[in-house]
Structure 1
Amino acid sequence: MPDAPLPAREGISPRRVILRGVVPADRAYWAGEAGDAPFARGTLLPPGAVLDRPQPAWFHPEVPAEEPIPFDYSVVFADADLIVVDKPGFLPTTSNGRLVRETVQTRLRVEFGEDEIVPLHRLDRLTSGLVVCSRRAATRGAYQRLFQERAVDKLYRARVVGTVGVSEEWEAYDVTMLKTPGVRQVSVGEGGRPTLTWLRRIGDREVEARPVTGHTHQIRALLNHLGMPVEGDDTYPLDRGLRLHDYSTPLHLRAVAVSFADPHSRRRRAFHVADPGWG
């Protein structure tokens, strides 16, 4: 999508629309790039102006106040290009449609005063741990390609319900997963996309996971499929419904390490967070 001609507001990016006929008077609109359009990029469009051709425009969405989520990230690392945070459970990485302000992305943008901050990957809302964020569009593409090309090593730790059914040695689990629109649970072994996850047992009720692919709910769905769902999971094996502000049952799944070869400095980047201490 083309760059917006106006900054974010309160950490929330403007949105793009194509106007036709007449400029609406419902909100302020700024002209986007439009070739031979009569309005220069970034011009505030006058309400009621007649448009003789489609006009790309940008506007600030009206985002209502949200009930504060009483948990916050901690910054693990920051330089000119990246910010790495330790995300708590219950706080979304980016907007999930219901929450926009109460997300890692929006909070970071407000804290640092930088509109370009964007997470390079996501953790499920209930999952805690490391999230790597880009803070500059100029260097973002190379980091995004690392995640797209599966060149990032990620390590998760989970506490499960029941008996751990995997070995103490790393084993690969190659299964297909299908995410059906409107259904929270991911189906395993019923078509869809191939996924690859390495698992090993590290305790009576704990496992480590190294996902190679990045499918929705990949670790949670796989562990449930293997008969050892993650403790505190609100979706597997039973979908208990989405309760955004119920903090009574944390998910015992944590992203504890991320590492990759930096595409700009060529140095190895490795980030870690503390053991979850589940006992």
Structure 2
Amino acid sequence: MTSATAQQTESRILNIAAYKFVQLDNLQQRRETLKALCDNLGLRGTILLSPEGINLFLAGGPNEVEQFLGTLRSDPAFANLETKDSYSTTQPFRRMLVRLKKEIIAFGIDGIAPEERTSPKLPAQELRKWLDEGRPVRLLDVRNDYEFELGTFAGAEQLDIEHFREFPKAIEKLPEDAKQVPLVMFCTGGIRCEKAGPLMERAGFQEVYQLDGGILKYFEECGDAHYNGSCFVFDGRVALDPQLQPTGNILCFVCQAVLSEAEFNSDKFKIGKSCPKCYKTPQEQHQQRVATRASQLRELAATQPGCTPYTGIRRMHVPRKLAGLPLIEFLTQWHPPTPRQAWLDWIAQGRILQMSSRYDVLGVATAETLVKEGECFEQQLPDTIEPAINPLIDLLYEDQSLVVVNKPAPLPVHPSGRYNRNSLTSLLAPLYPNESLRIAHRLDAATSGVVVLCRKYQASRFVQPQFAAQTVEKQYVAQVHGHPAWDSMQCDAPISAKPSAAGGRKIDSAGQSAATEFHVLRRLPDGTSLLKVTPLSGRTHQIRLHACHLGHPLVGDALYPSGDVTAESNQLRSSELSSELSSGSQAPPTQTLRLHAASITLQHPDTRSPIVFTAPMPAWAERA
């Protein structure tokens, strides 16, 4: 071990860095032994152990460090371990860690075994001699970007990498003629070059050397000759100058960037929050949050959580008109489409539970149980599998009060029928924990486009009444059958207030008033037309029903087809969907109903000013 006498007299902490590639076994036992030894000696730092060797950074009193090295070198595996030494006035490490790793330096390339063979090592003094003589040689800095920025050898090339794992790809970008001249690579202490050298030789580089001991050893023997700046170190000192003394640089705890004194004194430096290199304006921070949330939403929706079998739950609350009936009578009247025998079978199987007001299980219900007003029963539905959805949800806008998405189709907005986990609100819920998003308006599962949700109760109290009062401006795009004889048309046909047995509505002279404006955008060669649609009221299925009433039903509308367009040709057949799923296709179900909510204009709950939300056109509208 070498040392600087002047440093020893001024400093009391000895810092050592060392590594050795050697095959190791009994890693857990070695870990426990080394941890106990360091704790007893009062040393701090990090030791990495792996089957390929050891890598360590330690600091403590000189005598204690020497005692540690004496004990370590008594193990034949580490008998010739060499260290790089420097001194400091303070302890640069906060604690002592001994960790087990797959590799002591992460690389991810098989077949590289430095303990068996590595590239020739060039001593520090020899490199200086080459540089003094002006010998033709390429200097390659294999360190990360932020290390390179602090300092490097004059004329050295950088690979523009953020992590050493990127090194294998980065060398592919080096010019072909670089393989024909002597190349000297270097890093902080030499360990990265142990793996980088053999890889470069494998890639065809003819004469590869690694700086023995890295930059720190060069500083120790040659000072600042041919070197500009300082060297980043992985401890509290942050960076060392060529005299192996701390430079006073500061590390940003957020982005890990090394800061100068001027950057430290910048208004953009906030301890633990930002520095001039990672500072973002409030608007940029907001955009980043939205982008992150949008990515998370796409990833979650792509898993189609409802398509994985699970035990579904259906909660049934007893209304006043059905109170006092036996449970079986309540169930058959509560949901008439379900056969009475099916309810009896579920009751016999113990799948109908009586619940408390807090939804705790009170017991298994019987068919004769008399139900009470407000009472809750829960049906257990094992092996529930929901229909597939289109998961390509876009997050259009987000602030403290609103969330706005471009909903694809098919995708229900909220749990209903066969959909629960595969619904928009269920997919959004994990991304907004401790919040209860409130839907501001309706949009059918088969319709794509803008959906507005409120993050706060106060916001919903301001936004939802706008939809109820029909003061919100909505624009749709629709593809309809036929070529209308008119360019613009308003339909004022009243719509029935109650649904039919099939769930649809009808034109009813005694129904609710409704008005829809239609404007032809394009008449298409396939016999269909693209329309801009403006609903002036908000009745259920209004656009679909009015379009059909005018003789131009929407393409893909099985509920309101025209006389010469069969329902079969307009609907997504369940057999087709099943085929998609069974084939393992990654493509989502396609939108069949050609109706898209293109934009919504409303008064923002915070600013009380108009705000417009616009959704990109779906593929069918862009192709039209």
**TM-score, normalization by structure 2:** 0.36
Partner of 1:187: 506
CA distance in 2, matches of 1:46, 1:95: 25
Task: Verify the 8 A CA contact 1:154 1:258 in the aligned structure 2.
Answer: yes
Please state whether the residue corresponding to 2:403 is helix, strand or coil: strand
- Relative distance call for 1:113 and 1:72 in structure 2 (3 A) is farther
Deviations 1:177-202 (A, max 9, x none): 12433224421244321111122111
- Separation in 1, partners of 2:375, 2:414: 24
Distance 1:44 1:98, change over 3 A: closer
Q: Which residue of 2 aligns with 1:157?
A: 477
Equivalent residue for 2:448, pick from 128, 148, 159: 128
2:522 counterpart residue number: 203
In structure 1, the residue matched to 2:543 is: 219
Paired residues of 1:82 and 1:134 also in contact (CA < 8 A)? yes
In the alignment, the residues of structure 2 paired with residue 43 and residue 195 of structure 1 have an alpha-carbon distance, to the nearest angstrom, of 41
How many Å apart are 1:58 and its aligned residue? 7.0
Distance 1:13 1:27, change over 3 A: closer
Aligned to 2:452, the other structure's residue is in SS state: strand
Alignment match, 1:139: 459
Tell me, yes or no, if structure 1 residue 66 matches structure 2 residue 386: yes
Instruction: Specify every segment of 5 or more residues in structure 2 that has no aligned partner in the other structure, as ranges.
Output: 1-304, 306-311, 325-349, 365-371, 524-528, 578-588
Deviates more, 1:137-146 or 1:124-133: 137-146
Cα distance between partner residues in 1 of 2:486 and 2:414: 33
Does structure 1 retain, via aligned residues, the 8 Å contact 2:313–2:380?
no
Name which of 255, 274, 277 aligns with 2:616.
274
Q: What 5-or-longer segments of structure 1 have no aligned partner?
A: 1-9, 32-41, 49-53
- Secondary structure of the corresponding residue to residue 494 of structure 2: strand
Three-state SS of the structure 2 residue aligned to 1:109 is helix
* Matched positions, count: 251
Query: Relative to structure 1, is the Cα distance of residues 45 and 274 closer, same or farther in structure 2, using a 3 angstrom cutoff?
Result: closer
Do the aligned residues in 2 keep the contact of 1:72 with 1:91 (CA within 8 Å)?
no
Aligned partner of 2:604 in structure 1 is 262
**Secondary structure of the corresponding residue to residue 477 of structure 2:** strand
- Between the two structures, name the one with larger relative contact order (CA 8 Å, sep ≥ 6): 1
Whether contact under 8 Å (2:397, 2:403) holds in the other structure is yes
> Which residue identity is paired with 1:80?
Q
Paired letter, 2:499 = T
Query: Larger % of helix: which?
Result: 2
Residue 150 of structure 1: CA displacement? 0.8
Q: Does 1:176 align with 2:500?
A: no
- Counterpart of 1:3? none
Partner AA of 2:476 in structure 1: Y
Larger Rg computed on CA atoms: 2
Where in structure 2 are the equivalents of 1:39-54 lying within 5 Å? Answer: none
By how many angstroms is 1:268 displaced? Answer: 1.3
Does the 8 A contact of 1:114 with 1:135 survive in 2?
no
- What is the CA deviation profile of residues 59-104 of structure 1, one whole-angstrom value per residue up to 9, with x for unaligned ones? 8875634244242321100111111110111111123322122111
Write out per-residue CA displacement over residues 133-171 of structure 1, whole angstroms, 9 at most, x where no aligned residue: 112223311111111111111000011111124325xx4
Q: 1:61 to 1:138 in 2, by over 3 A?
A: farther
- SS of the residue corresponding to residue 223 of structure 1 reads helix
Which amino acid in structure 1 is aligned with residue 462 of structure 2? A
Q: Secondary structure at the match of 1:142?
A: helix
Equivalent-residue separation in structure 2 for 1:143 and 1:155 (angstroms): 18
Report the secondary structure of 1:141's partner residue.
helix
What is the identity, as a one-letter code, of the residue corresponding to 1:174? D
Look up the equivalent residue of 1:210 and give its one-letter code: T
Over the residues paired in the alignment, what is the CA RMSD in angstroms? 3.5
Cα distance in 2 for partners of 1:242, 1:78 equals: 33
Following superposition, the deviation at residue 233 of structure 1 comes to 1.6
Report deviation, 1:118: 2.3
- Aligned AA (2:595): L
Q: Which whole-Å CA distance do the structure 1 matches of 2:361 and 2:537 have between them?
A: 45
In structure 2, what is the equivalent of residue 81 of structure 1? 401
**Deviation of residue 251 (structure 1)?**
1.6
Which digits, 9 at most, give the CA deviation of each residue in 1:235-270, with x for residues without a partner?
221545786684466221100000012243212111
